[in-house]
Copies of this chain bind each other. A is one copy, B any other.
């Protein structure tokens, strides 16, 4: 069977290619896409595919890291969108058929360095 690592690598390749039929084929019908930061959830394959199809802007994906273990995986990708380059961190869960049943995704934004760590940290 395809490993969690392989499926997540394919997931991002397929996203970048806008191959939405191939994308849908990686997802369980009841997949849940969870965004803890805005506290929003998209329920089901049809809605989640549509969310991606409708996502605005000319975005592009670069994969930084994929880690897979059993029925779990995590990825760190960079999304280039409108001149910005933002990281996205995703945690995947798989069902017994190797389909994705849950994605929890985070979109961290830049922030100013907190005071009090200048003696330990180097800025870049």
Contact = CB atoms under 8 A, between A and B. Distances in A.
Interface residues of A, number: 45
Nearest to A55: B117
Q: Which of A42, A48, A91, A114 has the most CB of B within 10 A?
A: A91
A112 B113 CA distance: 22
Interface in A33-54: 35-43, 47-48, 50-51, 54
A97 interface: no
Given A76-B91, A91-B65, A108-B108, A113 B42 contact: no
Interface of A: 5, 35-43, 47-48, 50-51, 54, 56, 64-65, 67-69, 72-74, 76, 87, 89, 91, 104, 106-114, 116-117, 120-124
